Amino acid sequence: MNAGDIYETNNFGDLEIVSYNGCFDVLVRFVNTGTECVTSSDQIRLGKVKDRFAPIICGVGYIGEKVPHTETIYSRWVNMIKRCYDSKIQEKHPTYIGCTVCDEWLCFSNYHKWFVSNYIDGFEVDKDKKVAGNKVYSPDTCLFISKTENSQLSSSGTYELTMRNGDVIKVENMALFCRENRISQSGITRLKNGERKSCKGFIKVVRVK
């Protein structure tokens, strides 16, 4: 391999050899993003080198620097990105239309650092309590609140619940509705947020007021 050689990757476009210092010490640069990393010649030939700064989540979210593998935090980050930039999610949950993620948190490693530094066991990230009417996920507008408090916030307002057969039920008090019908309010909240596909026969929850 020589400096200037171009190789294809499986998922991240072409990369260019910047310098070759041995089969386990090859500096490469991704053509699309300009990201540089050190890898092995075998990984290059197999096309397995990954660009950690390529926007692979909804065309905006990228991994960034390496962090310890934490699937739970990663899935929460992906769900946050999708709520703001996935049109299919927003069709089911129109309350997220107009919501955005700050530039800093479009990078998973940045979000991971904030999450780990601020996490409270059993609590959840919330964007609505700190700033009224907030539409931006960011370290300045989000905080951790208890699941109970999050459920109370999500229960305020009027909702329409769609059943599998297409019937729609209007609910004025979500907490009371869930309690009287023995439905998990956290399950309904996760359905509303696009984190699950159904809950007790309901397939869609939309806040209408």
Question: Residue 193 sits in a domain of what CATH number?
Answer: 1.10.10.10
Q: Are residues 23 and 88 in the same domain?
A: no
User: For the chain, what is the domain count?
Assistant: 3
Q: Is 46 left (phi over 0), alpha (psi -120 to 50) or beta?
A: alpha
Q: Are residues 132 and 163 in the same domain?
A: no
How far is the C-alpha of 161 from the C-alpha of 158, rounded, in Å?
10
Q: Domain range holding 190?
A: 156-207
Question: Does 133 map to a domain?
Answer: yes
Q: Is 198 left (phi over 0), alpha (psi -120 to 50) or beta?
A: beta
pTM over 0.75: no
Per-residue pLDDT of the chain (209 residues; tens, 9 = 90+): 899 999 999 989 999 999 999 999 999 999 999 999 999 999 999 999 999 999 999 999 999 998 887 778 999 999 999 999 999 888 877 778 889 999 999 999 999 999 999 988 888 888 877 776 788 999 999 999 876 666 655 556 788 999 999 999 988 878 778 877 888 888 888 888 888 899 989 999 888 77
Q: Are residues 116 and 174 in the same domain?
A: no
Q: Are residues 77 and 139 in the same domain?
A: yes
